[in-house]
């Protein structure tokens, strides 16, 4: 609504200015003052139509135009300063300054506009990024690199374009892998191994992004801003990062949410048949697996490896690697 009012006011103001100009300029040409008002209306409507036609790229194109114009004029000033020192003939200089400025500004402006899709410029309140024809790019959360479900998504073809890992995420993983903190060190090494496994694939392309993101103090902010710059989806397991992406309205893939969505509908109280695969870590526990790969911890089943058991589901527990089911044996027939 505010934009509509602004456009209406702009058209009205253009007509008023055109009428005012017509009082002075067009009367000498024998034209009525309303001719100026018509020209103002036509110019305003043309600009609004152009803005509507190129609305998806209007801001980026306008800022690129202004940057190119400024650079062209600046380069022209420098060349004219050099020309003043080289050519002592004032009349010759005065005949060269306008053509030189026009040609230089035009060339620089065209170069910037044509290269706008290949340049990435980040300035306050405006982000200029390459317009890509593919829509399958994904920015990967460093925690998701160590998640085996990521490789499953890649092999299934859901992530078949470009996988992007920011340099800051890689630096953080390398620092954690070289540190002394046990759990983060193990997770970081697993993530680096996952990155190496992704790079070994022929497809999709894996890129390390070197873009310096301003006004992004934390890694989560960097990843969210990178998604916006690239027009990419976010693939993550970190709930805080996913909430931040949701607040920004970014497309995202929650690996934990996918695991829950595609898991078999097992609830506490259900009776399932599980083959015990191996003894568990706890005393008397046996380990089995559901058809979807969820691990089942069965009480008092350590000595029944290789045997199918009817078990009652006690509770479910979501972990970073998927769902864990706790069950007990059904006694009796």
Single out the residue in 200, 225, 260 at which a domain terminates. Answer: 260
Would you say residue 251 lies in a domain? yes
Residue 109 lies in a domain: yes
Q: Are residues 199 and 178 in the same domain?
A: yes
Domain boundary among 260, 275, 305: 260
Print the SS3 string covering the chain.
Answer: CHHHHHHHHHHHHHHHHHHHHHCCCCHHHCCCCHHHHHHHHHHHHHHHHHHHHCCCCHHHHHHHHHHHHHHHHHHHHHHHHHHHHHCCCHHHHHHHHHHHHHHHHHHHHHHHHHHCCCCCEEECCEEECCCCCCCCCEEECHHHHCCHHHHHHHHHCCCCCEEEEEHHHHHHHHHHHCCCCHHHHHHHHHHHHHHHHHHCCCCCEEEEECCCCCCCCCHHHHHHHHHHHHCCEEEECCHHHHHHHHHCCCCEEEHHHHHHHHCCCCCCCCEEEEECCEECCCCCCEEEECCCCCEEEEECCCCCCCCEEEEEEEEEEEECCEEEEEEEECCCC
pLDDT of 47 reads 74
Instruction: For residues 242 and 152, state if they share a domain.
Output: yes
Q: Are both 211 and 256 inside the same structural domain?
A: yes
- Tokens 């934990």 sit at which residue? 256
* Domain of residue 273, CATH code: 2.40.50.140
Residues 80 and 161 reside in one and the same domain:
no
| Average pLDDT of the chain to the nearest whole number | 78
Please indicate, yes or no, whether residues 255 and 304 belong to a single structural domain of this protein. Answer: no
Same domain, 241 and 199: yes
Our count of domains for the chain comes to 3
- pLDDT band at 314, cuts 50/70/90? very high
Instruction: Report yes or no on 284 lying in a domain.
Output: yes
- Asked if pLDDT for residue 121 goes beyond 70, the answer is no
Which region among 21-25, 189-193, 195-199 has the lowest average model confidence (pLDDT)?
Answer: 21-25
Full residue range of the structural domain in which residue 223 is found: 138-260
Residue 60: inside a domain: yes
12-24: average pLDDT: 72
Same domain for 246 and 284, yes or no, is: no
- Regarding whether 107 and 202 lie in a shared domain, the answer is no
Candidates 57, 220, 252, 32; CA nearest to 137 is 252
Confidence of residue 126 (pLDDT cuts 50, 70, 90): very low
Statement: residue 122 has pLDDT above 50 = no
144 and 227 inside one domain: yes
Whether residues 96 and 180 share a domain: the answer is no
Same domain, yes or no: 248 and 276: no
- pLDDT tens for each residue of 234-279: 998 888 898 998 898 888 888 877 776 666 678 888 888 889 988 8
């Amino acid at each position: 609504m505010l934009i509509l009012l602004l456009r209406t006011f702009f058209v009205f103001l253009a007509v008023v200015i055109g009428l005012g100009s017509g009082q002075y300029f067009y009367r000498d040409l024998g034209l009525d003052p309303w001719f100026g008002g018509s020209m103002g209306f036509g110019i305003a409507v043309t600009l609004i139509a152009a803005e509507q036609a190129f609305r998806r790229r209007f801001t980026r194109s306008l800022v690129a135009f202004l940057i190119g114009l400024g650079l062209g004029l600046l380069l022209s000033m420098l060349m004219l300063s050099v020309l003043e020192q080289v050519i002592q003939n004032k009349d010759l200089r005065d005949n060269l300054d306008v053509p030189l400025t026009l040609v230089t500004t035009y060339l620089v402006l065209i170069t910037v506009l044509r290269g706008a899709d290949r340049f990435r410029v980040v300035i306050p309140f405006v982000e200029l990024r390459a317009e890509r024809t593919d829509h399958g790019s994904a920015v990967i959360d460093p925690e998701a690199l160590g998640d085996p479900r990521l490789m499953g998504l890649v092999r299934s073809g859901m992530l078949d374009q470009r996988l992007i890992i920011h340099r800051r995420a890689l630096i953080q993983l390398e620092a954690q892998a070289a540190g002394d903190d046990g759990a983060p060190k193990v997770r970081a090494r697993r993530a680096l191994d996952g990155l190496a496994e992704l790079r070994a694939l022929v497809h999709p392309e894996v890129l390390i992004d070197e873009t310096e993101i301003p006004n992004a103090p934390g890694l989560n902010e960097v990843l969210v801003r990178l998604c916006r710059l690239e027009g990419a989806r976010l693939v993550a397991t970190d709930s805080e990062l996913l909430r931040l992406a949701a607040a920004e309205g970014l497309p995202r893939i929650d690996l934990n949410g996918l695991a829950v969505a595609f898991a078999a509908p097992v609830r506490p109280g259900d009776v399932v048949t599980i083959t015990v695969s191996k003894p568990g870590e706890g005393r008397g526990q046996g380990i089995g697996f559901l058809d979807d790969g969820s691990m089942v911890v069965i009480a008092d089943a350590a000595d029944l490896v290789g045997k199918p058991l009817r078990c009652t589901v006690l509770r479910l527990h979501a972990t970073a690697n998927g769902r864990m089911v706790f069950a007990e044996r059904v006694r009796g027939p």
